[in-house]
Structure 1
Amino acid sequence: MSPADLKPVRDHIAGRIIGQQKFIDSMLVCLLSDGHLLVEGMPGLAKTTAVKALAEAVEGDFHRIQFTPDLLPSDLIGTDIYRHEKGEFEFRPGPLFHNVLLADEVNRAPAKVQSALLEAMAEHQITVGQRTYPLPALFMVLATQNPVEQEGTYHLPEAQLDRFLMQAVVTYPTRDEELLILELDSRQQKTTFTPPAKPLAQAELFAMRRAVANLHLDPRLHSYIVDLVQATRTPKVYDTDLGRWCRFGASPRASIALARCARARAWIDGDEFVAPHHIQAVAPEILRHRLLLTFEAEAEGVTTDTFINRLLNLVAVP
């Protein structure tokens, strides 16, 4: 398998939304890295459309769940149904047993629902009563969330945030892009949309993942990745302001994610080995949801992206 085999997937997504190339790249990197993606942005920025387009371009079952404050854990994982004719309980699987799951506005649901999603994301299984059920080999959660400043939203637990491989931030389009959005909407109103004739087969996707995993990553870059993650925990060693801004750094999952996603980024670019710029390209999406800034940083208007970009400029590149 080669990066050219992934081009139909990219083209299909790009045909449904205008711009947002970085967001599309993040979805493809997560797909190749066997991870989950958290997407944040204001309503109306085509987050859901993009995720549905990815699901259409990949072979497998797709399900969308609208997260609401009254959602129950059983609405996600399923429940045991009593069968009178058999005199026993039978498990009826919930939406989590689909291959691609869109968790729309995930931060509008309470903690109990988030905990049900946590096991599925972390262990590819769910537990109901005394029994544990494995999830499909291809299982990917793409969750959208609105900024927490909006009414009716909750902060996701740090443990759940850490299970997301990457967090993409979708911003407003430019003026030219918005004009193209109007043209695209006019065309779609006149024609019936058809999904791709031949979605990417799961066997092909798994072959791509093996190729990504086998891409060369120099031991010196292992050290660079660890240095970056360690720097989020002891930032004052590099800069006094960074030390004031960060309360908690990234976990070892961030190191694993940087290595996996850098390989995927290099493979998509058609390179035969990972270079430092591949690590730097994926670092913001991997680190931004794993850092907890201080109140002092928030008062000064410092964002996690500001912190990460400054850190990338200070940690030595091998």
Structure 2
Amino acid sequence: MSTREQAVKILENMKRVIIGKDDVLEKVLICLLARGHLLIEDVPGVGKTTMVKTLAKSVNLSYSRMQFTPDMMPSDITGITLYNKTEERFMFKKGPIFNQIILADEINRTSPKTQASLLQAMEEGEVSIDEETYQLKKPFMVLATQNPIEYQGTFPLPEAQLDRFLMRVSLGYPGVIEEKEIIVNYKESKSLNKISAVASEEDIVRMQDEVDEVHVHEDILHYIVGISNASRSHSDIHLGASPRVSIDLYRGARALAFVRGRDYVIPDDVKEIVPYVLGHRLILSAEARIEGRRVEDIIKDVLKRVHVPVVSAIEG
């Protein structure tokens, strides 16, 4: 079985649990294959936590769930150094961050200080404690959830934290047919205990390496940079895309092309992931907020201002 066939198999496995959200599941897999982290923003009860558990079980990676609360401390995430009386020495007890699939549930319910303890792990794949640096096992991915309608008792994620997430997705409410199927699956206990791993740790690493080999034409690079530059000069945007956004568009477009069965990126790959990569990072100007402008509409306007490369030249 080829790595692309395995990627499809992972998606099909996840669809057995998460009903009617095929596009979102594809973006979750793309984020993993691009070595990125994912922010899941939605109302309670739509399956955010279940989706993360399904991913972890499908790819057979170690998993930990952290329920973020206002009194949570950084050591609750990274670990703590304790004194062992028997051995008469200090020993480091690893925290839940030392797993491969991390669910940071309701991340905006904890303080900025605790949120910041994730930054090094997400950016560098390592954790520094008491002048010691510990490498995290790869593949490593943080999937954080937050409920957009609950503002009391929450701490909005700072720009530096948001910029560490390659994509942001929303599940949304299911359709009528899908919701009926969800009820039947729940009634018949067709849940996580009914699925098993369809890919190993080695398989995921192999897929990630193949994504790194997907060809990106010079014109596509110019297109990506053009999108970032257009966001920085847009009158309705106070803070535009950083160079990290350009890198993430590049990584995400490669992973999307891989999942779609191509070894080269086309403009539509970039265009499709732009809302997921830029949506949580752009800060609107005060005037745009007062006028009720939406980030989604401004992103569409940004895309209209950038010249799209010719596909035939890229494929050739």
For normalisation by structure 2, the TM-score amounts to 0.94
After superposition, residues 268-307 of structure 1 pair within 5 angstroms as 268-307=259-298
Partner amino acid for 1:146? Answer: N
Contact 1:254 1:286 in 2 (8 A): yes
Contact 2:58 2:199 in 1 (8 A): yes
Look up the match of 1:252.
Answer: 243
- Secondary structure, counterpart of 2:194 in structure 1: coil
Contact 2:166 2:248 in 1 (8 A): yes
Same amino acid, percent of matched pairs: 39
After superposition, residues 73-222 of structure 1 pair within 5 angstroms as 73-147=74-148, 149-188=150-189, 193-196=193-196, 198-222=197-221
Greater helix fraction, Structure 1 or Structure 2: 1
Pairwise CA RMSD of aligned residues?
1.5
Partners in 2 of 1:192 and 1:270 — Cα distance?
28
**C-alpha displacement of 1:193:** 2.6
CA deviations on 1:268-289 (whole Å, 9 max, x unpaired) are 1112311000000111110011
Contact 2:167 2:277 in 1 (8 A): yes
- Secondary structure, counterpart of 2:163 in structure 1: helix
Moved over 6 A (4+): none
CA deviations on 1:192-230 (whole Å, 9 max, x unpaired) are 83331x441111111111111111110011000000001
Count residues with an aligned counterpart: 308
1:287–1:142: structure 2 CA closer, same or farther, 3 Å change rule? same
Partner amino acid for 1:92? Answer: K
Partner amino acid for 2:194? Answer: T
Contact 1:148 1:155 in 2 (8 A): no
Partners in 2 of 1:76 and 1:309 — Cα distance?
38
1:106–1:74: structure 2 CA closer, same or farther, 3 Å change rule? same
Partners in 2 of 1:118 and 1:312 — Cα distance?
30
Partners in 1 of 2:71 and 2:22 — Cα distance?
35
* Contiguous gaps of at least 5 residues in structure 2: 310-316
CA deviations on 1:83-125 (whole Å, 9 max, x unpaired) are 1122210000000000111011111110111111111111111
| More off after superposition, 53-62 vs 17-26 | 17-26
- Secondary structure, counterpart of 2:108 in structure 1: helix
CA deviations on 1:23-73 (whole Å, 9 max, x unpaired) are 101110011001100000000110110110000011221110111111111
* Contiguous gaps of at least 5 residues in structure 1: 236-242
| More off after superposition, 164-173 vs 221-230 | 164-173
Structure 1 residue 71 and structure 2 residue 62: aligned? no
Structure 1 residue 5 and structure 2 residue 16: aligned? no
